[in-house]
A and B are shown apart, each in its own frame.
Chain A
């Protein structure tokens, strides 16, 4: 089955266990003094129970066993079956230490070097008899228990030596040293101390505090950049001073031609000026050097500080991935598919901010894989594949990026089907589709509102899918999403995102006298083209690069800026080519300034969302520069080149006038509910109480924009009505939306066979789903 990556949960368990163990230890200490403290015993039992449960959850069975045995003993004490004896204290401490050890070494097969079985046996015997069984003297000679069973089992003698070996093995810090060989009398104190130190090994901090810290750190980084600029300025000033002195010495030698009297007259001042100049040169030189040294030292520290601060927010991706096996099981059941999820690279670390955002797009992609990718078991077997489908989810770091891939061994994306759907929905003409390569066709799935599904259901085919995912990835995570697919073999989505959202690389460029930053991740190429390379096609300018035709748009026009004469006129025109959603667009700019790392800031709290602008950055000199938003640029740029004009005009034509809906529904309540929903949304609503009446009204020439029908109705069912509509040439163009309580796949299939355009089950029925579906179909 699914390989369950426990690492992230183990970290959480360790955090929890640290708290629990401290309380359990403290509880034992208090209990020894006041054995009859019933509330304390109850609290202790609850903690032990929690420990048992959570350790079992993360698969640390040994801890769970030990906790279970401790519980057994304490239950007897609580119920008065056994008195609390000091010997128990020792056993409990020993057991708790064992748990501490096991918890800290969780997942490192620590259980092998700790004889848990022997310990649990002794605890079991204590639970049975109330008297601790003596610990074996040496672990390698388990046959020889020490005499005097009445004496407390010496935890110091038994686990001591083993724990002793730990620090060396585990690279544990000094705290572990306190663990070893506590003396018999000072035991509890020493142990308490050791545990106390351990709880301080991690500190829980509110994320808002970390964020504030990071904000301050980026301020420090920015002022450090300014500082470095100042070092250069100072060095220039020192250089000037040197030049000045040289000029002065030339001047002085020229003065030697003056009459000797005048020379004498000037000599005192000249000497003084000489000294001043030399002092100034020396001191400026010294300051400049000292400042440069200090700054470079500080820069190194600031660099480390920034790195460490960023680290604070890094978490393994498994914290998100670990919820997926369960989600996948649910999805597989929902779609009635047999799917296995294989997760790799769960320990890859990522900024917490990114992690928070990454869940939804990944779920979306996986849902897509289960719904559209993995075929039904029968089809898979027929195609010679294992009946059970596999979805691979992997994460890895590549440079300063994280690559997350979701691949399935399903049917792959059929370029033919995508093209057909694109033609049906008016994205493409037949001839355009013919000219389109398979690779380009696959990118159509990223088009707004695109869906290949034959029927709209509440789960998929709504066309809110990959386009949203992709925009989200680019806009929010400053990354990119790509797809590869081989028809019949499978599909692979590749998500590339920067390690952190705070800093990205960007190209600074100038347009209309203003500087802008363009994220480097989306830039395919920058070039300075000769005006002669620009070709006019149908009133639009394009260039040919590497056998592709790339439409050109002046960035100025997208941003709606005034034309300003370029600062230094050059015959070559700078063009930055963006690549997004399989489309390319060349942005004409005035000048490239250079590429650098920038710290991303929002536009402030007042400007929530501004077209084309993703945020701002502050440059070294304190200058605020807007960061451009690539998806917006593409959308707006393509509109300017006319690539999207056709679709835009199509939409406009249809919007005119209120749309009319025919509702066929026998239940009065449902009918009136639907009527009010559509009327509130501005539709004209006509109703019929059954299929036959609905059909009659249609044949009378009602001509609605859509029909919304129930399935189970007297005289004529919704399926029959749908069939009748779709087989009537006069009516076949009217979209039919089936709203029903039938939820089984076969019934949905019957709906599809009847020719329905959408199928909404009443269990998920809500106003938005209904309206959205109808609007989508009417368009």
Chain B
């Protein structure tokens, strides 16, 4: 019991610490920009299976670790359930399942889950489960290219572009698309 409480407290502290570090990193990353007048954007890298992706740092609210997911029946497959983030209920999106990342087995929420990136726009919040969280990179806006044309249509929808950094091709995730509300009309897992 108390061990569990301690864990949640730790998770909270670590989430806060990550948040502080992130802000610090973001501000450090932006500092040199004053000198060079190239418009750049911060991206948070993360790994899904064998591949690296990124989300715009502006849409990242926090990193959430060690959480308990509550399953919600009859939601789309890529919604693992909901979590309680300090009293706020947030959906948990299995991003790999949504964008159909190959070589990646579906997550079982009863296993210990990797970190989640909580992303938000003006209206919606969701936690994206990823395999590993990477660094924050700063790329010039013009370096972001349109999504690969080889992507299949389902995947292309969820990508807003791609960027080549340190010999890695990184897909930039279209958060707006991912955060589209679910179930305005009747929605359900095909059963």
Point out residues on A near B: beta carbons under 8 Å: 215, 218-219, 222, 233, 514, 559-561, 601-613, 616, 618, 622-626
Write out, one digit per residue, whether chain B residues 120-153 have a CB within 8 A of any chain A CB (1) or not (0): 0001111000000000000000000000000000
Write the chain A residue with the least CB distance to B123.
A605
* B155 interface residue per 8 A CB criterion: no
A612 and B187 CA atoms in complex are apart in Å by 11
Write out, one digit per residue, whether chain B residues 51-95 have a CB within 8 A of any chain A CB (1) or not (0): 000000000000000001011111100010011100111110100
**CB <8 Å contact, B1 and A561:** no
Contact of A605 among B1, B71, B181, B185 (CB under 8 A): B181
Q: Which of B72, B88, B93 has the most CB of A within 10 A?
A: B72
Closest CB-CB distance, A305 to chain B, in whole Å?
Answer: 16
Q: Provide the residues of chain B in CB contact with A610, threshold 8 Å.
A: 72-75, 182-183, 187
A604-B89, A607-B182, A623-B68 known; A612 and B73 CB under 8 Å?
yes
Point out residues on B near A: beta carbons under 8 Å: 1-2, 8, 68, 70-75, 79, 82-84, 87-91, 93, 123-126, 179, 181-189, 191
Q: How many A-B residue pairs have CB under 8 A?
A: 97
Q: Provide the residues of chain A in CB contact with B126, threshold 8 Å.
A: 604, 606
Would you list 19 pairs from A and B whose C-beta atoms are within 8 A, ordered by A residue? A219-B87, A560-B74, A560-B189, A561-B73, A604-B91, A604-B126, A605-B124, A606-B124, A606-B179, A607-B72, A607-B181, A608-B184, A609-B187, A610-B75, A613-B72, A613-B74, A622-B84, A624-B68, A624-B83
A626 and B82 CA atoms in complex are apart in Å by 9
A514-B71, A613-B73 known; A624 and B184 CB under 8 Å?
no
Contact of A607 among B8, B75, B185 (CB under 8 A): B75
Closest CB-CB distance, A562 to chain B, in whole Å?
Answer: 10
Write the chain A residue with the least CB distance to B179.
A606
Q: Provide the residues of chain B in CB contact with A609, threshold 8 Å.
A: 182-187
Q: Provide the residues of chain B in CB contact with A602, threshold 8 Å.
A: 89
Contact of A222 among B73, B87, B124, B181 (CB under 8 A): B87
Q: Provide the residues of chain A in CB contact with B74, threshold 8 Å.
A: 559-560, 610-613
Closest CB-CB distance, A149 to chain B, in whole Å?
Answer: 69
| Additional A-B contacts beyond A606-B179, A608-B182 (6; CB < 8 A) | A606-B126, A607-B75, A607-B183, A611-B187, A612-B74, A624-B83
Write the chain B residue with the least CB distance to A626.
B72
Q: Provide the residues of chain B in CB contact with A613, threshold 8 Å.
A: 72-74
**CB <8 Å contact, A606 and B188:** no
Q: Provide the residues of chain B in CB contact with A616, threshold 8 Å.
A: 70, 82, 89
A219 and B89 CA atoms in complex are apart in Å by 12
A222 and B84 CA atoms in complex are apart in Å by 12
Which 3 A-B pairs rank lowest in CB-CB distance, beginning with the nearest? A609-B183, A559-B73, A606-B91
A603 and B90 CA atoms in complex are apart in Å by 7
**CB <8 Å contact, B91 and A603:** yes
Q: Provide the residues of chain A in CB contact with B68, threshold 8 Å.
A: 622-624
A613 and B84 CA atoms in complex are apart in Å by 17
A604 and B88 CA atoms in complex are apart in Å by 7
Q: Provide the residues of chain A in CB contact with B93, threshold 8 Å.
A: 606
Q: Provide the residues of chain B in CB contact with A559, threshold 8 Å.
A: 73-74
**CB <8 Å contact, A606 and B182:** yes
**CB <8 Å contact, A624 and B89:** yes
A653 and B90 CA atoms in complex are apart in Å by 41
A218 and B84 CA atoms in complex are apart in Å by 14
A607 and B73 CA atoms in complex are apart in Å by 12
A147 and B184 CA atoms in complex are apart in Å by 79
A605-B123, A618-B87, A625-B70 known; A611 and B82 CB under 8 Å?
no
Q: Provide the residues of chain A in CB contact with B188, threshold 8 Å.
A: 611
Contact of B91 among A233, A607, A623 (CB under 8 A): A607
**CB <8 Å contact, A607 and B82:** yes
Closest CB-CB distance, B76 to chain A, in whole Å?
Answer: 10
A153 and B72 CA atoms in complex are apart in Å by 75
Contact of B89 among A514, A601, A608 (CB under 8 A): A601
Q: Which of A219, A560, A606, A610 has the most CB of B within 10 A?
A: A606
A625 and B184 CA atoms in complex are apart in Å by 22
Closest CB-CB distance, B9 to chain A, in whole Å?
Answer: 11
**CB <8 Å contact, A233 and B75:** no
